[in-house]
């Protein structure tokens, strides 16, 4: 089974329908690649060109699944404070947000169509980190595409970290999907929301087998979180981060790394990557890479999931639902809803 957009659409985006895909069967081994590369900041068309080049290279190496970093399309605004202090916002900061808003993409929209076409052209499952523009609010999101060139759906980051909260909205429970595909059940959590135990439990309960973790965290301690998730969930973990130098961002004064600019030169590393692929047993299959832009690949033996679950199945024999339980509100949360007079009459 696979999930594809239906012809209808809800308030929170496309409605997805399950469709049987002829000739498909579950794979026992999957070639997966995580991309470690930098956005072309403030230049979304150029970033899309770069994304296709990287996708083509990964596909030429046999990749069936390719995962890009957090905010690859639209950019992660590292080092920027958008002129915000408590009780005040500067004119320069507002101008910076306007530029950032212009670099984001609409979902659905032409950039989504192009990404879908790329997935179809190179016949890969594609997981792409984007900055999603929904009117005047931005969301840090992950988009999913199948090898037939179809947009499957999205996950919106439910908890932006620290100053991210001033530029990104909060996702809700309606975009925490796990997609059943011929290469396994695929889902994603973004950066520090991976540290939220209840979110992880929701994904485990949906049966996630390939847990994608696009991130902006290049610290060595991030590896501990990735290993823990692999062991806890009995799943493969694919963490993709950007590798960025100062020169990958516009020069000052157009773009300023607040508090750091005086110590930086064009070659200074501002995000060191650390992308990694980890097995359900906690074994590091590829990475972590801190050397530069790279494609990090590994073969995922899905039989390893069965062996890991034999030891510890967090929603199976190791759950205690009579003691511990979780309720997930997976409906859209809209600020305004409308009820027509006719609907009121029918309900009365």
The answer to whether the beta carbons of residues 238 and 219 sit under 8 Å apart is: no
- Enumerate residues 6+ apart whose C-beta is below 8 A from 251: none
Cβ atoms within 10 A of the Cβ of 138, count?
A: 21
**Which residue do the tokens 């939220």 mark?**
196
Q: Tell me whether residue 346 is one of the annotated catalytic residues.
A: no
* 32 within 8 A of 67, measured Cβ to Cβ: yes
**Token reading at 144:** 């999913």
Lookup: tokens for 38: 């930098």
Region for residue 325 given its phi and psi (left: phi exceeds 0; alpha: psi -120 to 50; beta: otherwise): beta
The phi and psi torsions of 73 (rounded to 5 degrees) equal: -90, 115
Alpha-carbon distance of 37 to 248, in angstroms, equals 10
Cα–Cα distance for residue pair 324/134, rounded to 1 Å: 36
- Marked catalytic residue, from 70, 111, 193, 209: 70
Q: How far is CA 306 from CA 232, 309, 310, 324, in A?
A: 13, 5, 6, 24
57 Cα distance to chain centroid: 20
Contact partners, residue 49, CB within 8 Å, separation at least 6: none
Radius of gyration of the chain (CA): 20
Catalytic residues, which ones?
A: 70
């Amino acid at each position: 089974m696979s999930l594809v957009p239906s012809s209808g659409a809800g308030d929170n985006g496309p409605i997805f329908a399950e469709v049987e895909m002829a000739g498909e069967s579950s794979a026992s081994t999957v070639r997966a690649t995580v991309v470690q590369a930098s956005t072309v900041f403030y230049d979304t068309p150029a970033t899309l060109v770069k994304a296709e080049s990287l996708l083509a290279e990964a596909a030429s190496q046999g990749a069936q699944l390719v995962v890009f970093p957090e905010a690859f399309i639209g950019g992660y605004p590292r080092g920027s404070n958008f002129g915000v202090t408590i009780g005040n916002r500067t004119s320069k900061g507002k101008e910076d947000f306007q530029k950032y808003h212009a670099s984001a993409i609409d979902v659905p929209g032409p950039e989504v169509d192009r990404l879908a076409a790329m997935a179809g052209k190179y016949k890969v499952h594609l997981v792409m980190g984007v900055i999603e523009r929904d009117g005047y609010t931005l969301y840090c999101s992950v988009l999913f595409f199948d090898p037939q060139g179809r947009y499957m759906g999205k996950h919106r980051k439910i908890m932006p970290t620290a100053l991210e909260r001033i530029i990104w909205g909060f996702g809700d429970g309606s975009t925490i999907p796990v997609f059943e595909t011929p290469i396994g059940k695929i889902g994603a959590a973004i950066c520090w929301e991976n540290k939220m135990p209840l979110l992880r439990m929701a994904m485990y309960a949906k049966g996630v087998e390939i847990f994608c973790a696009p991130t902006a965290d290049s610290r060595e301690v991030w590896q501990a979180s990735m290993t823990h998730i692999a062991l806890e969930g009995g799943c493969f973990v694919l963490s993709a981060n950007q590798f960025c130098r100062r020169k990958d961002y516009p020069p000052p004064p157009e773009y300023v790394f607040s508090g750091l600019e005086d110590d930086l030169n064009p070659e200074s590393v501002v995000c060191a990557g650390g992308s990694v692929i980890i097995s359900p047993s906690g074994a590091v299959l590829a990475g972590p890479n801190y050397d530069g832009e790279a494609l990090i690949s590994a073969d995922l033996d899905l039989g390893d999931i069965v062996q890991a679950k034999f030891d510890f199945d967090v929603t199976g024999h190791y759950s205690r639902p009579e003691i511990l339980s979780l309720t997930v509100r997976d409906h859209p949360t809209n600020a305004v809803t409308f009820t027509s007079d006719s609907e009121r009459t029918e309900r009365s």
